[in-house]
Every structure is written in structure tokens, then in C-alpha cells.
Amino acid sequence: MNLSSFLIMRHEVILLAVILLLVIGEIFIAQRKKNSMVHLAIFLFGIHTLIGFLAIDFGSIFGGMFHTNALIQFFKNIINIGVFILLLQSGDWLQERIVQENKGSEFFILLFSSLLGMYFMVSSGDFLMFYLGLELSTLPIAALAAYETSKRKSSESGIKFILSAALASGVALFGISMLYATSGSIYFADIIGGGVTEPNHLTILGFVLFFAGLAFKISLVPFHFWTADVYEGAPISITSYLSVISKGAAVFILMILLFTVAKSLMGIWEHIVYVLAILTMFVGNLFALRQQNMKRFLAFSSIAQAGFILLGLTTGNQLGVATVVYFILIYMFSNLAAFGVVQAISLKTGKENMKDYEGLYRTNPNLSLVMMLALFSLAGIPPVAGFFGKFFLFTAAASKGYYLLVFLAVVNVTISLYYYLLVVRAMFLRENDLAIPYFKSNLYMKIGLLMTAVGILVIGLFSPIYDYIYELSNLY
Amino acid sequence: MIEGVTIYDILTLTTILFFIGVYGFLTRKNLISILISVEMILNASVVNFVIINKYLYPDVLQGVLFSIFIIAVAAAETALAVAIIINLYRQISSVEVKDTEVMKY
């Protein structure tokens, strides 16, 4: 193993270096200057994000346990940008609350460890690496969800998350053990090359258990019960991370596994995905209608969005891969914008309910405009990017002839439009004497929100991005 | 290979263990018992991996290696869960599920 093959894992190596630098920084930065840890972490992660865009070799190392290609690199860059925006948005919260309790550097170390786990999960070449990546990405998040140790809700969301995540990975492992029994190898390449033409019952059972474990991470409908509670109790930046980065990475690896490893089982998982898509969209949307807390509201909206993503998974071809990755990119910017506004308001005023947003446009026009863009993009209203993301997903599903599924999805878009517009109406049309007073966010938050707003507007209108993703999406 | 014990016997055992774990997870009223149930699920898959490796594919040690990693990760998972439970206990002086719930539909 020489240097050039080691550089295939450049993302991982640099992120690990960032984590170690932060550990050293924690030792040497004086107690009263701990705020500079936040600046240092954001600066280092920014550099890491930029380096990620440089050209790189592809290939596989560790005997095939770790492999990369252009699509995986691109996806890692996407989630890098997402985490960078998230760090910018939570800079204020970190400086005011977390650093004061002297827990600043642990926050970054845990968050980056989780991101490292996602890198390994996304580029895993066998089930062992996949499992380790999954656990490394999940466990630090559980610790972060329970991070505000003085708040009761935070602890509750932490314990709910860790128990359901442990159950999910246990079920997935039981499924993996059955797949191992039938194929005789835990390497994806051997399973693909094994030439299973007639899947037996044990393979199907193992696959279904494995799928159920991953569905927990994406919070598809029969497995979504943890989502709303964890999202409500956890600190907002962690909620944002869970709903955007964590879900995106899980969807991506599920897609790769379905389209390559489980290709021979396509006749079975097509039906599973079809039914789950319908259930997820309906349950997510209908429960979102009655939510008052903004975090719970966005939790159910993100469940519904996961249902839309499943539409792209039904195809099993290059078009499906491209549309799913494109939709994840757009969804990331939209949801980050929505959570960013919720975070800015919650930090300054402590208000998180939809009623408190009434009359927001009179007092804080910029924040309301960003929120409106985000909600329009989530709902899929034409000029913004979310419309194109949904449109391509529906096209992909329709290209396989699933017209009924597309019809039900369009019905769901209509339902979702109603509750997204409820928030917009509260902000723009309602009068309120007790509206949230005008406040100034700090520079990091402004840059973070600006980046999301630009992303929402540009990605939809600038078509070379989609063409580029389509070119990369050649999995076979 | 164990004399007189077929792979079917052991797979039946692990399947029963798995479902006892799932049943316990859904019905127990105490956070620590729920954690124990999760451990049973994980241990069922550990035994599965070792036994499949030993009986079906004895040439390569993939399954045994996998089980070692599962045990290590399960230990980390338990430590973290217990830490969070202790933190919760300091606030509400209870580890019963019914006392922890403030967020509901």
C-alpha cells in the first residue's frame, strides 16, 4: 500500500486530521478564549470542503472493503457543503450556549466523527465496513441529541434515538447474517458476481430485515415513530443534521445497495418500495397538518419528502440515480434554510410554535423571505428548485409506467402545499401585536442563510448541474 | 462442528432469541430492560454469524471477524445508552418509560 492508493481516501484522511487538530486546539486554547474554537472549527471545515473539490483518483483499497467513484466523491462533497452551512447556522448557538458550558470542542468532534462514519458508509465495499460506518454515524448523533444535559426533552430525545437506532441496526444485522448464509461472502462484489438468478426464501427474508433496518434511518412509514419526538427534543442544529445529512446519506447508500447488490431481487423490492412510498407520503403529510411546533412540523414534512424520494428508487436505472441525487441536493438546501430560520428565531426569542410566526414579515422581512423560499421549494412551486426536483422524480417513476403512484404523489403534493402555505400565511398575512420583535443575527447565520437561498434559486435554474449528475450516475 | 447438534438447531435457537428480544423491546416498561432486549437481538446475530461461518463456510473467517466487531460496537452502544439513562435519571429520578414521556403525538 503506497501513498497514492492511500490518497483515494482523501476525504476521510483530511477530516480525521481536522478532528485531531481540534483535539489539540482544545488543549492549547486558553479557557477564556474558548469562543475561538468555533471560528477555528468552521475555518478548518471550510478548507476541508474546498479541498474535496480538487480532482482525485478513484478505485478500491483494503481488498475491496473501501471503494470510491465519481458519484460517491460528488455525494461526499454535497454533504460537506451541507455540514458547512449547518455549522455556519449554529455558530451563534454554539457561542452563546454550548461554549459557555465548556462543551464546545466535543460538539465538533462528535459531529465530525459522525460525518466520518457517513463517508465510510457511503463508500463501503462490504457489509462489515457498511455496518461500522452506520454505527459510527449513528452513535455520536445520539450523544449530540442528548447534548443539552440540563433540558429534560433533550435527554428524552437522546434515549429514544439510541434505543430505536440500536433496534434498527440489530434487525439489519440479523438480515445481513442471513444474506451471508446464502451467498457465502460479505463482500458486495462477491454477492453481485455470485450469479444468484433464482433468489431463495432465506435471501428474501434476510433482505427484507436488512431493508427494515435501513428504513429506520430514513424514517419510512412503519418505522417512523421515533422521528417527531427526537426532532422536537434535540438541539435544532442536530435536528437539522438528522433530517438533512443523515437521511441523505442513508438514502444514497440504500439506493446503491438496491441498484447493484440487490439487483437480482428487483422483482421483490420494487413492490416494497412502491407500497412504502405511498404509505410514507400519506402518513407524513396527514400528520404534518395538525402540528403546531415548527420542529415537529418539519419532522413530518421530512418524512413526507422521504416518500417522494422513494419514487425515484422504484426505477432501478441511471435516471433514477440521477433524480434521487439531484433531489437530495435540493432537499438539503431547502431544509437547511427552513431549519436555519427556525434556529435563528428560537435562539433569540425561544419561540418555536407556528402561532409565534404571525406577523413575522412586518418585523423581520429577510428571515420571512428565506423561510418562504424554503417552504416553496419543499412544496414544489415552479420558480424555485424544489419544483424541478419533484418533477424529475415523477418523470423517473412515470418512465417505468407507475402512473397510479405518480398520481398519488401529485395528490400528496397538493396536501403538502396546504400546510406549507399555512406557515407562509401566518408570516405574511396575519396581523399580530405580539409579533417577534426585530433582531439582528450574527454574520455566520447571515452567510449560512444566504448560501441556502442562493442554492434554492440557482440549482433549479442552472441545468448543467443536473446534466453533470446524470453523467456521473452510471453505476454499472 | 459440535457432535449431535445440527445447524438447524442452532438457527432455531438464534431465531427464538431474536424474537424474544423484539418482544421484550416492545413490551418492557423499564429503560434498562429495553436495553437488555436490544442486546439479545444483537447477540442473536452474533451467534448466527459464528455458526454460519463454522458450519457452512469453514475456510474463510469472515463471519467470526464480523461477530467480534459487533460485540465491540454493541459495548459502545450500551455505554452510551446507559450514560443517557443516567442523565435522564438525574432529572426525573426514574427509569420507567411512562415517566420519561413528555413528547407525544
The length of chain A is 476
Write the DSSP symbol of residue A132.
H
**Structure confidence by residue, pLDDT tens digits, A436-447:** 888 888 889 999
Nearest to A177 among B38, B45, B87 (CB): B45
In angstroms, what separates the C-alpha of A298 from chain B's closest C-alpha?
14
Nearest to A139, CA basis, from B6, B92, B83:
B83
**Structure confidence by residue, pLDDT tens digits, A10-35:** 899 999 999 999 999 888 887 777 78
Contacts of B103 in chain A (CB under 8 A): 153, 156-157, 228-229, 232-233
B17 occurs within a structural domain: yes
B101 occurs within a structural domain: no
User: Is the pLDDT score of A199 beyond 80?
Assistant: no
B2 occurs within a structural domain: no
**Strand partners for A66:** A61, A124
User: Is the pLDDT score of B20 beyond 70?
Assistant: yes
User: Is the pLDDT score of B104 beyond 80?
Assistant: no
Query: What's the CATH code of the domain at B67?
Result: 1.10.287.3510
User: Is the pLDDT score of A457 beyond 70?
Assistant: yes
B105 occurs within a structural domain: no
- Mean pLDDT of all residues belonging to chain A: 89
Nearest to B102 among A135, A153, A184 (CB): A153
User: Under 8 Å CB-to-CB from A282, ≥6 apart: which residues?
Assistant: A307, A408, A412
| Distance separating alpha carbons of residues A113 and A140, to the nearest angstrom | 7
What total of structural domains would you count in chain B? 1
Strand blocks (E) in A260-387: none
Q: What is this model's ipTM?
A: 0.94
User: Is the pLDDT score of B105 beyond 60?
Assistant: no
Residues of chain A in Cβ contact (below 8 Å) with chain B? 127-128, 131-132, 135, 139, 142-143, 146, 149, 152-153, 155-159, 162-163, 166-167, 169-171, 173-174, 176-178, 180-181, 184-186, 228-229, 232-233, 287
With CB atoms and an 8 Å threshold, state whether B65 touches A128.
yes
**Structure confidence by residue, pLDDT tens digits, A299-350:** 999 999 999 999 888 888 888 899 999 999 999 999 999 999 999 998 888 8
**Strand partners for A67:** A60
What pLDDT does A198 receive? 67
With CB atoms and an 8 Å threshold, state whether B91 touches A178.
no
Following DSSP, what letter does each residue of A32-89 receive, concatenated? GGTHHHHHHHHHHHHHHHHHHTS----EEEGGGTEEE-HHHHHHHHHHHHHHHHHHHH
Q: Mean per-residue pLDDT for A72-99?
A: 90
Q: What residues does each domain of chain A span? A: 3-472
| Distance separating alpha carbons of residues A349 and A356, to the nearest angstrom | 10
Nearest to B84 among A128, A155, A186 (CB): A155
Residue B46's domain spans which residues?
Answer: 7-94
**Structure confidence by residue, pLDDT tens digits, B66-96:** 999 999 999 999 999 999 999 999 988 888 8
Asked if residues A146 and A159 have their Cβ atoms less than 8 Å apart, the reply is yes
B78 occurs within a structural domain: yes
What pLDDT does A475 receive? 67
What pLDDT does A1 receive? 67
Nearest to B69 among A128, A149, A185 (CB): A128
Long-range CB pairs of A4-10 (<8 Å, 24+ gap) are A4/A57, A5/A59, A5/A61, A6/A61, A7/A56, A7/A57, A8/A56, A8/A57, A8/A58, A8/A59, A8/A60, A8/A61, A8/A66, A8/A68, A9/A61, A9/A66, A9/A68, A9/A123, A10/A51, A10/A52, A10/A56
B30 occurs within a structural domain: yes
With CB atoms and an 8 Å threshold, state whether A233 touches B76.
no
With CB atoms and an 8 Å threshold, state whether A139 touches B45.
no
> pLDDT grade, residue A168 (50/70/90)?
very high
Q: Mean per-residue pLDDT for A107-119?
A: 94
